[in-house]
Amino acid sequence: MPYMCQPCALWIHRSCASFPRSVKVVRHKHLLHLTHSSLQFHQPDPRFCQLCVQKLDTRYGLYYCSKCDFVAHLDCAIFKENREYIDLQKFEDEDEVLELDESVDSVTYKVNKFNMGEDETQIAIEIKHFSHEHDLMLTDEVLNNLKCDGCVRDILPPFYSCVKCSFFLHESCVKLPKKKKHPLHQHPLTLLPNAPYRSKMFLCNACGQGCNGFTYNCIICQFDLDIECSLKSDIFTHEGHEHRLILSNTAHRQKCNCCDNERYQVFRCATCEFVLDFQCATLPHTTRYGQHEHPFTLNYKAEDDSGEYYCDICEEERRDSKYWFYYCEDCSYPAHPNCIIGKYPNYKFGGSYIFNCHPHPLTFIEETKDRPRCNKCNGSCEELIFQCAHCNFYIHKGCLFKGQM
């Protein structure tokens, strides 16, 4: 049965009456207050919820911050992934919450040696980074087919490298803050060189891809963000779309316009309802493929009007013209993003790990042509495997961790 306010003749559903009077969401510094639809918002039409970035239905109640004209659906504001749990009584009178600290305890490296630049600034040429046991040296050398151990993207100069082992860090990854807040999570995140799980790997909570690089981690919630996803702000512009995109975090999946995958966390356009997921939003603008002499550029529209679009790498699969693709203009060479950057773009292969199941270090490798059989299950179906070259031992990632990351 609904509740009724007799003086106003206002009927309210029993479930609606249970909404809290005030809430705090991760993406706004002030409290949001429950308000009636009769309130005159300052937001220009079309009005949209700033948490899901979809149109408002003003027939129902809303959560609203009058100081900032920030408005949200009832369900979006109380959605557990958007809500920040604080002592509301503490802020009842002042209605002010501390702003997000984007870089707390940001010292992650110590400078051992430096040179003076032309503008008299200090350039760190040798450092000790918290993620690695050896000192790292600054270099401008161009290296091919190597990845940064932080963001797991192609290594590009300037970067720091270890002279003793195959460890590389972009200069930008060296300077990442040790702690930060992100609009996708209610707790501060800590930068870790390895995920705090048995496998030292994790699934990014934003793009859903496996990764063995650095993670911004919440140990309380087992929440992880890879570096590329952690750098995405809640509002940004992308070369592939003409309007600004706003983070949308909802309890239901939304389909990306550029790849057709469905994710809970996406970026939406409030103007034309374009949807972009984190995986597409973090695709590199340019990349290289194998021994191909030219770089490939990410394209957002079909290369011609022929109506026949194929990937020149996998050849047999026809491309959908509405999806993004990589293209070498010099060679008229189009390809699927997965074919160019691989099925596992956020894994760095070749690293050695020590596990209790084997006396020697195991090397993480991708599928090989001969598909070696796993010593545990005797199968050859999985593509990711750990190898001990010393004694010809192989074990699937899934078998090693029993399906757990």
* Per-residue pLDDT tens digits for 165-200: 889 999 999 999 999 999 999 999 999 999 999 888
Do 136 and 162 form a contact (C-beta atoms < 8 A)?
yes
Q: pTM here? A: 0.86
For residue 353, pLDDT over 50 is answered with yes
Q: In one letter, which amino acid is 295?
A: P
pLDDT at 330 over 60: yes
Q: What is the mean pLDDT of residues 1-14?
A: 50
Q: Is the pLDDT of residue 46 over 90?
A: no
**What own/partner pairs with CB < 8 Å and gap ≥ 24 does 356-360 have?**
357/395, 357/400, 358/388, 358/393, 358/395, 360/388, 360/390, 360/391, 360/393
Please determine, for residue 126, whether its predicted confidence score (pLDDT) is greater than 60: yes
As a whole-number percent, the residues of the chain with pLDDT over 90 amount to 54
| Higher-scoring residue by pLDDT: 370, 211 | 211
Cis omega before residue 334 (within 30°)? no
DSSP result, 280-349: HHTS-SEE--TT-SS-EEEESS-SSSSS--B-TTT-SSBPPTTS-EEEETTTTEEE-HHHHH-S-TT---
- CB–CB of 220/242 below 8 Å? no
Q: Looking at residue 101, what is its pLDDT?
A: 46
Among 13-17, 30-34, 153-157, which stretch is predicted with the lowest mean pLDDT? Answer: 13-17
- pLDDT band at residue 88 using 50, 70 and 90 as cut-offs: low
Among 27, 86, 19, smallest CA distance to 248 is for: 27
Q: Tell me, what's the pLDDT at 16?
A: 59
pLDDT at 321: 85
Burial bucket for residue 369 (CB in 10 Å: 0-12, 13-18, 19+): exposed
Task: Put the strands of the sheet holding 235-236 in their side by side order.
Answer: 235-236, 245-255, 262-268, 275-277
Q: Do 189 and 167 touch, CB atoms closer than 8 A?
A: no
Residue 98 has pLDDT above 50, yes or no: no
Query: pLDDT tens digits, residue range 274-305?
Result: 999 999 999 999 998 888 889 999 999 988 88
Residue 363, beta-bridge partner list:
352, 387
CA distances from 116 to 120, 162, 169, 311, 362 (A): 6, 22, 22, 49, 42
CA distances in angstroms from 118 to 58, 121, 122, listed in the order given: 59, 7, 9
CA torsion sign, 79 to 83 to 85 to 87? Answer: negative
Tell me what pLDDT residue 103 has.
45
Q: Which of 228, 203, 213 is nearest to 169 (CA)?
A: 213
- Residue 234's pLDDT band, with cuts at 50, 70 and 90, is very high
